[in-house]
Amino acid sequence: MYNYERFESEVRSYCRSFPTVFCKAKDHLLWDIEGKEYIDFFAGAGALNYGHNNSFLKEKLIEYIVGDGITHSLDMATMAKETFLGKFYEVILAPRRMNYKIMFPGPTGTNTVESALKIARKVTGRTSVISFTNAFHGMSLGSLSMTANPGKRRGAGVPLEYCIRMPYDRFLGDSESSLAFMRKFLQDKGSGIDLPAAMILETVQGEGGLNAASFYWLREVEKIGRELGILLIIDDVQAGCGRTGTFFSFEPAGIQPDIICLSKLISGYGLPMSLTLIKPEYDIWSPGEHNGTFRGNNAAFVTAAAALTYWEDRTFQEQIQQKAERVHRKLTQMIADYPELRGEVRGRGLMQGIACGVDGLAENICKSAFRRGVILETSGPRDEVVKLLPPLTITEEVLDQGLQVLEESIQECLNNELHVA
Amino acid sequence: MYNYERFESEVRSYCRSFPTVFCKAKDHLLWDIEGKEYIDFFAGAGALNYGHNNSFLKEKLIEYIVGDGITHSLDMATMAKETFLGKFYEVILAPRRMNYKIMFPGPTGTNTVESALKIARKVTGRTSVISFTNAFHGMSLGSLSMTANPGKRRGAGVPLEYCIRMPYDRFLGDSESSLAFMRKFLQDKGSGIDLPAAMILETVQGEGGLNAASFYWLREVEKIGRELGILLIIDDVQAGCGRTGTFFSFEPAGIQPDIICLSKLISGYGLPMSLTLIKPEYDIWSPGEHNGTFRGNNAAFVTAAAALTYWEDRTFQEQIQQKAERVHRKLTQMIADYPELRGEVRGRGLMQGIACGVDGLAENICKSAFRRGVILETSGPRDEVVKLLPPLTITEEVLDQGLQVLEESIQECLNNELHVA
Amino acid sequence: MYNYERFESEVRSYCRSFPTVFCKAKDHLLWDIEGKEYIDFFAGAGALNYGHNNSFLKEKLIEYIVGDGITHSLDMATMAKETFLGKFYEVILAPRRMNYKIMFPGPTGTNTVESALKIARKVTGRTSVISFTNAFHGMSLGSLSMTANPGKRRGAGVPLEYCIRMPYDRFLGDSESSLAFMRKFLQDKGSGIDLPAAMILETVQGEGGLNAASFYWLREVEKIGRELGILLIIDDVQAGCGRTGTFFSFEPAGIQPDIICLSKLISGYGLPMSLTLIKPEYDIWSPGEHNGTFRGNNAAFVTAAAALTYWEDRTFQEQIQQKAERVHRKLTQMIADYPELRGEVRGRGLMQGIACGVDGLAENICKSAFRRGVILETSGPRDEVVKLLPPLTITEEVLDQGLQVLEESIQECLNNELHVA
Amino acid sequence: MYNYERFESEVRSYCRSFPTVFCKAKDHLLWDIEGKEYIDFFAGAGALNYGHNNSFLKEKLIEYIVGDGITHSLDMATMAKETFLGKFYEVILAPRRMNYKIMFPGPTGTNTVESALKIARKVTGRTSVISFTNAFHGMSLGSLSMTANPGKRRGAGVPLEYCIRMPYDRFLGDSESSLAFMRKFLQDKGSGIDLPAAMILETVQGEGGLNAASFYWLREVEKIGRELGILLIIDDVQAGCGRTGTFFSFEPAGIQPDIICLSKLISGYGLPMSLTLIKPEYDIWSPGEHNGTFRGNNAAFVTAAAALTYWEDRTFQEQIQQKAERVHRKLTQMIADYPELRGEVRGRGLMQGIACGVDGLAENICKSAFRRGVILETSGPRDEVVKLLPPLTITEEVLDQGLQVLEESIQECLNNELHVA
């Protein structure tokens, strides 16, 4: 019996889906203690965009540790932070003509979301925030109020308030229904909806089932907010940092959020780190009004700064997009070849998947893939989506191998279904 | 102009108290980019109990990184976690006959507090939780409701509810007033206080002004909770992991919390990590009911496991206690020698300080110490306490040096006060 | 200067719209202290369905007072209550095969709504309640959370929570959009809407602009609730007791609410009284769990019992319906004759009006009517509806007179508009 | 079987304590349908200060009804209101040099409390309100948050928030402990208590067990509020209008509340009516920001104005005080004569009673008194207080008779107790 089975809380979950003990990893590969090799189409729930233990980042990290660079600094100034800030400005913000102040709100996704909600409420003096159907924004009380998943919400043990729930793009069928609904509810004085401080949204809903908002919808949502003085918060924790093919997931939509939440992928190496980007006019925090012990995780600053090197020319971005098209073609072909899946391709960039119209099927496909050496998780309110989150740096060959295993897993499951029926 | 001044949000704070850029650190020393050396009596707000870049831990960490150990794993099982769990059981839990399930709730203090509040509410089916005057439990919405600091609370932008505020030990003068008050309010049917799910407390209030609860008070509080079915949560984020001289701060009081929150110091190296310990009968989570991307920060597991080596015999613990007495003697002498301080020694273990009876004095003392090369921060509701948090591994020589600088800083400030008056 | 101008709070409102002092009233007529006579198309916001000082009820009331009947009894048993309960059962409940327990929750509309919300939450163990756009349910904190009007809501001074806002019939255009929206949000596990305890609604929204729900929509809403275990509360405070042509406003829709709120019109004489009707299986109150000093207003029980006499045969009901059709014909003609109104006929029964498409016009029409001796108020989120609430007992002659004055007022206002333009 | 047993909701309560059907009442007497006569020491929970169907008020009431005076007027101006306002100013406010605007917030106690909370929050822009242990302020959600009784609170079905609970005078033993506690919690920046909008309190807690605050405590509480900008709301719903010997219960303490809540007794005849008195500088309502159908119960205005006649000279007030002393002497003697009661005299004015130190005894005494023809209720968190609320106009003879019956009931119960033991 493993220690995790003896000592770890019942809350543990991924170790139930992937019942083995992993010991080593490199790029897109993982090995368990029995020496079995796995292709990683999960990438730490998307946190490992440059693969496991990326050699370039690793070199910088070891150099820093060996040299006794500052490891932990709260929000004192350090060289590692200076370097990261300068490079983030130069490589990311300046070329995109984006003017934002950078906040280190604590090292996790829920920390950045909590800080975004606070500053939006402070700026507007209002309490409610719009969040959308199938949203996932985190597990601490403020973020959890915005999260839609009923099981996660029940975990709160208290009513989750101050959230106005709106229909995400296509939740009501098409984009227009959602927009018409929002406009009507926010503009009609009799709607009973109090004017909110902000709206928070993911451009692609990672946990909510790989729903990708159309660029049109994003622009219209931004416009509604502008007209009414509602701040726009983009939670780019899962979809940002290149996952969809551009550094920020919203770039191709041409919108300009007031506040941006980044985490998961920003350190590049899987080290805890997050950022909140705030338009300068809204950066009205008092010093220390939000804080946290681990907002100065310097090892992460080092890998994060190094990782930005990937973004210095457009090649990296173009390669992601080529791989994304490859995935899209393959998935589209699969749902055509296996109509029994009643499948639908979802998502965009290297954040795509297949929504299965048959109950329990997605879960079985992932189990089968795991046995065959590919790590894949489900998402969506009924775990109905097989979700592909390979490292952005994966080679086309391994990408194809993994997709091949996915297809075999689909075949196996459909045969079993047939057999059962 | 530094990048942090140009690009970082106005929320930054410690870089205002310590206006320089740090670049290197070892054990109890820090260096800035101008080569100035500092003795660290702050230790990352107590997160660096074994000093900066502790050689023993560093070796293990580099070895792990070089060997391509898993860096980031969500809550999948890994060898690093297996090792940590086994060692934590063997070195910490078993010898103390403590029976707890271990939860990885995300890597920060506020994550463990949020998870503790959730499970206490789930277990009892009640919503309110008792928190105490001058408490600090974190900055996400659930933890912030429990935190007492008014500036931090105002940052929420929404009413902070579901908290019953009770007087901490000696807040009303002596221990008995606080206990009598609690008993009366919780037992009298007409008090208007709804029965709470839990009470959460720090045995020494780090941010709240180094108030150390008496062991008597802790035992009586535990007893009140037991009688009424209120769970006891000890937030040992700042005071745990040896800071007060024993691994858990509450050991000498002889109490048995239902839930224990650990963070800050648990990784030993300043890497983000936290644990929630839960009595097995209360570990009724559904799988995944609380989660978070960075709950599997394996680099931290490696240093955390290595750090437990310090706790394998009693020498380490005894040395902390000797240093603590040294600090206590010296501080006691200072308040006697400088009655103009109107000083009071606060805290216990290597978490002590001087509460100054003169407005603004503590802040000036810390500024003076910084100029003289010692890093010290204030705490307390009016920043009235000079707080000493040296690494537990500091040598007696350097401890004395730092205390000497503190005394000089006090002298300088008192002279200035005199001059002004 | 009148006393009300010197001494009464700034919160006063109707005395601003109707700036005179009234001193006498009979049936559908009012007189002010200067002897001017007014036709009452307002009827105490619909509370005076049998007219002012109805002779039959008045006789019973005086007889009771003269005979020293109990005036005030909290919820002790009295003969007046016995008589009322028996007659309500016999005349109202039994013939309609309705099986409900009768609760006296305090004498006002907001008291019955508060009690309905409480019992629905107790029965289901859930906190949220669905309320609809443009809803008005009262002004105490529980009811106000359900009310949609932004000005009233702002008055709360605290966030108004535990309410899920849904689109009323035709708020989104047609009935189907509203129903589709509700079904989707309540049934889709990813919608982020927690399962509510109940839904509360008015079949005709009196304050919200005379929006009358279609019977189809009411039946579908009931069906959605039944499927999901959500209780149905009909707030019949303004539309009940005959106002729409049947005793309960929902009778023609054929639905069976779980809880019914009655007030305003139930005493028949304008005396404060209200009832909460509860299906027996949900009457799980503990004794005294909800109470209130004035739940035993016996003078009101006496007039309420007497008023039920009107409902002993079907003539009264038929007469209301004939008058309602008369009003409908006349209003329909007016909007045809005066297209500049951009008018729409709203409501049903003796609760109809004209929604004007021109800003401020409805208010001016009511002002003009007041000068001409007809009392009329506006409703709707922009005060855009001229609302007719004549006593149910009004004669056809006086009804026609009032409608004639309304037409003249419209003509005057349209001429003025023309003149201004 | 009576109708109330067949048809009335399980929530009914007083009809369980007094299991008969009442049919007639005059002054301090009640009769049931079997002709049995009762002395009323309950007076409609204190709502009938001038006795049942007081002849002088009755005459005015009948005259008004017969003359077709306006019965129901929302907040339109009427002669009845004009008369009441003028007389209330002349007889009550002007002689006491009290400058307040008068608000009609709806006819019940909970309406006035809800309006007081709203305006205090609007004036200060803060959300929390201090309420005290054993407080009773009403049953709608805003008032219920302030109420202490656990059974009533549980009825809400939602968490009751925005209330800071403080110890009432002597709840912690003496006056000073309560005051010291309040000062410490409100002034210490680390207390974790957010600055409240207001404090609301009863000078004598009617439902909470007849706890009478000392005048010293009241003055100190007022002072604390003044220093910190916290508004003082006196809920004089049960203790006001002469019940304690002066028109306002707080007059002898010499305090000047910012807001005063009156109801129950203000109409004098048991008709639903309430007032909120607001200092002019705080009367910043928008028109209609709080409203309610029955805020214009003109029949109640008529009796309320007539009842003020009692207050035109000081005789009435002096007589109440004499009767109060009579009650006090008699109760004091009883607890001396019957030490087995372990009794304590509580309350002041004609709002006194005996707190019994034996579980269940108070309830048995009231039951015995009822059988003997005296109506008496219990109060307090454990129903441990026998509460005397005779009409203020009761004659000394009948007062003595009732007290005599009380003594006999005590004897009977003590004998039974003895017998049981």
The answer on pLDDT for D421 being more than 60 is no
What does the block give as tokens for A74? Answer: 């709260």
State the Cα angle at C167 between C166 and C171, rounded to 5°. Answer: 170
| Chain A contact set for B71 (CB, 8 A) | 25, 48, 52-53, 269-271
Same fold flag, D2-54+314-420 and D69-311: no
- Do B16 and A287 contact (CB within 8 A), yes or no? yes
| Residue A417: pLDDT over 80 | no
Instruction: Classify residue B3 by its DSSP letter.
Output: H
- D303 neighbors D269 (Cβ within 8 angstroms): yes
Closest CA to A171 of A163, A161, A181: A181
Residue C228 CB-half CA count within 13 A = 26
CB-nearest partner of A172 from C127, C159, C181: C181
Cα angle, residue C294 at apex, residues D234 and D296 outer, rounded to 5°: 80
Q: In what order do the strands lie in the sheet with D101-103?
A: D101-103, D275-278, D259-262, D231-235, D198-201, D129-132, D163-166
**Six token digits for residue B172:** 């009303």
Quick one: tokens of B280?
């097995």
Residues with Cβ < 8 Å from A374, sequence gap 6 or more? A38, A39, A41, A402, A405, A406, A409
Mark yes or no for CB contact D148/B209 under 8 Å.
no
pLDDT grade, residue A147 (50/70/90)? very high
Taking all residues of chain A, what is their mean pLDDT, rounded to a whole number? 97
C-beta neighbour count of B311 within 10 angstroms: 18
Nearest by CB: B158 against A12, A77, A162: A162
CB under 8 Å to D111, separation ≥6 — which residues?
C108, C110, C139, C140, D105, D140, D263, D274, D292, D295
Percent of chain B whose predicted confidence (pLDDT) is above 90: 98
* Residues B376/B381/B385/B386 CA torsion (nearest 10 deg): 0
CB contact residues (below 8 A), chain B span 100-129, against chain A: 101-104, 106-111, 114-115, 117-118, 120-122, 127
β-pairing, A101-103 vs A275-278, is: antiparallel
Specify whether the CB–CB gap between D287 and C10 falls below 8 A. Answer: yes
How many CB pairs lie under 8 A apart between chains B and D?
A: 102
Q: pLDDT at position D417, please?
A: 76
- Report, in angstroms and rounded to the nearest whole number, the Rg of chain D calculated over CA atoms: 21
Contact of D29 with chain C, judged by CB distance below 8 Å, is answered with no
Q: Which CATH class is domain C69-311?
A: alpha beta
Rounded-to-10 torsion of CA C17, C22, C28, C29: -110
Closest Cβ opposite residue D24 in set C69, C106, C159: C69
Q: How far apart are CA B232 and CA B223, in angstroms?
A: 10
* Residue found under tokens 């709504």: C113
Say what the pLDDT of residue C416 is: 87
**Chain C residue with Cα closest to A194:** C150
Q: Which residue type occupies D389?
A: L
- Side chain identity at residue A87, one-letter code: K
Distance of alpha carbon A134 from its chain centroid, rounded?
A: 13
* Partner-chain contact B192 D159, CB within 8 Å: no
Measured CA to CA, the distance from residue B363 to residue B366 in angstroms comes to: 5
C272 and D297 within 8 Å at the Cβ level: the answer is yes
Of residues B46 and D393, more confidence is placed in D393
Average pLDDT of the residues of chain C? 97
Contacts of C159 in chain B (CB under 8 A): 158-159
Whether the CB of B381 is below 8 Å from some CB of chain A: the reply is no
Summarize the confidence of residues C31-39 as an average pLDDT: 98
**C1–chain D Cβ distance below 8 A for any pair:** no
Q: What is the pLDDT of residues D35-77, one digit of tens each?
A: 999 999 999 998 999 999 999 999 999 999 999 999 999 999 9
Q: What is the mean pLDDT of residues A222-229?
A: 98
Q: Stretch C396-402: mean pLDDT, rounded?
A: 97
Per-residue confidence (pLDDT) for residue A97, from 0 to 100: 97
Class of domain C2-54+314-420: alpha beta
Give the C-alpha separation, B112 to B116, whole Å. Answer: 6
Q: Is the dihedral of CA A111, A115, A118, A124 positive or negative?
A: negative
Instruction: Give D328's pLDDT tier (boundaries 50, 70, 90).
Output: very high
D159/A158 Cβ within 8 A? yes
pLDDT at A339 over 80: yes
Residues forming a β-bridge with A355: A344, A385
CA dist., res. D108 & res. C108, Å (int): 8
**In the predicted model, is pLDDT for residue A421 greater than 90?**
no
Q: Is residue B420 over pLDDT 80?
A: no
pLDDT of residue A227: 97
B167 in Cβ contact with B133 (< 8 Å): yes
Q: What is the mean pLDDT of residues D293-319?
A: 96
Chain D nearest-CA distance from C385, in A, is 17
CB C68, CB D24: distance < 8 Å: yes
What is the pLDDT, as a whole number, of residue D151?
Answer: 94
Q: Is the pLDDT of residue C418 over 80?
A: no
Are A185 and C165 inside 8 Å of each other by CB? yes
Mean pLDDT of B353-360: 96
Phi-psi region of A268 (alpha: psi -120 to 50; beta: other; left: phi over 0): left
Give the pLDDT confidence score for residue C420 in this predicted structure: 64
Instruction: Tell whether A44 lies on the interface with B, counting CB pairs under 8 A.
Output: yes
Over range D98-127, report the average pLDDT: 98
Instruction: Compute the CA torsion angle C400, C406, C408, C414 (nearest 10 deg).
Output: -150
Residue C417: pLDDT band with limits 50, 70, 90 = confident
Mean pLDDT calculated for residue range B207-214: 97
Q: Read off the tokens for B139.
A: 């900055």
CB contact under 8 A, A149 and C190: yes
Q: Is the pLDDT of residue D91 over 60?
A: yes
Shortest alpha-carbon distance between residue D161 and chain A (Å): 12
**pLDDT at C169 (0 to 100):** 98
Residue C193 in contact with partner chain A when CB distance is under 8 A: yes
The whole-number average pLDDT for the span C342-352 is: 97
Residue A73's DSSP bridge partners are none
A-contacting chains (≥3 CB pairs under 8 Å) = B, C, D
Q: Are D142 and C140 inside 8 Å of each other by CB?
A: yes
The tens digit of pLDDT for each residue in D195-254 reads 999 999 999 999 999 999 999 999 999 999 999 999 999 999 999 999 999 999 999 999
Residue B417 pLDDT grade (very low, low, confident, very high; cuts 50, 70, 90): confident
State the pLDDT at residue C391: 97
Measured CA to CA, the distance from residue A229 to residue A222 in angstroms comes to: 10
**Amino acid occupying residue D303:** T
For residue A154, what are its two tokens? Answer: 């029940």
End-to-end, the C-alpha distance of chain C in Å comes to: 36
Query: CA A177: distance to chain centroid?
Result: 26
Q: Which of A6, A108, A152 shows the shortest C-beta gap to B294?
A: A108
Chain D, 53 to 82: residues with Cβ < 8 Å from chain B are: none
- Separation of alpha carbons B128 and A314, rounded Å: 53
pLDDT at D334 over 70: yes
For the cut 90, the answer to whether the pLDDT of residue B418 exceeds it is: no
pLDDT over 90 (residue C92): yes
**Chain A neighbors of D159, CB-CB under 8 A:** 158-159
Distance from CA of A405 to the nearest CA of D (A): 51
Residue D31: strand pairing partners? D24, D37
CA dihedral A317, A323, A329, A330 (to 10 degrees): -160
Q: List beta partners, residue D212.
A: D204
pLDDT tier for residue C336 given thresholds of 50, 70 and 90: very high
CB C331 within 8 A of CB C345: yes
Name every residue whose Cβ is closer than 8 Å to that of residue B375 and which is 6 or more positions away in sequence: B18, B30, B38, B39, B40, B41, B42, B369
CB-based burial, D116-141: b 16+ in 10 Å, e otherwise: bbbbbbbbbebbbbbbbbbbbbbbbb
Q: Please list, in sequence order, all residues whose beta carbon lies within 8 angstroms of the beta carbon of residue C415, skipping any fewer than 6 positions away.
A: none
Q: Please answer yes or no on whether C289 and D154 come within 8 Å at the CB atom.
A: yes
Domain ranges of chain A: 2-54+314-420, 69-311
pLDDT at D420: 64
Asked if A108's CB is within 8 angstroms of B293's CB, the reply is yes
Q: Is the pLDDT of residue A419 over 90?
A: no
Q: Helix, strand, coil shares of chain B as percentages rounded to 5?
A: 45, 15, 40
pLDDT band at B416; cut points 50, 70, 90? confident
The mean pLDDT value of chain D amounts to: 97
Half-sphere exposure of B2 (CA within 13 A, CB side): 19
pLDDT tens-digit series, residues C272-300: 999 999 999 999 999 999 999 999 999 99
Nearest residue to D9 (alpha-carbon basis) of C285, B129, A145, B80: C285
Q: Cα separations (Å) of C254 from C19, C116, C120, C241, D2?
A: 43, 21, 22, 16, 31
Residues of chain B contacting C158 with CB distance shorter than 8 Å: 159
Regarding an ipTM greater than 0.90, the answer is: yes
Q: Are A102 and A179 in contact (CB under 8 A)?
A: no
What is each CA distance from A329 to A70, A307, A344, A413, B330, in whole angstroms? 46, 29, 13, 21, 73
DSSP B88: I
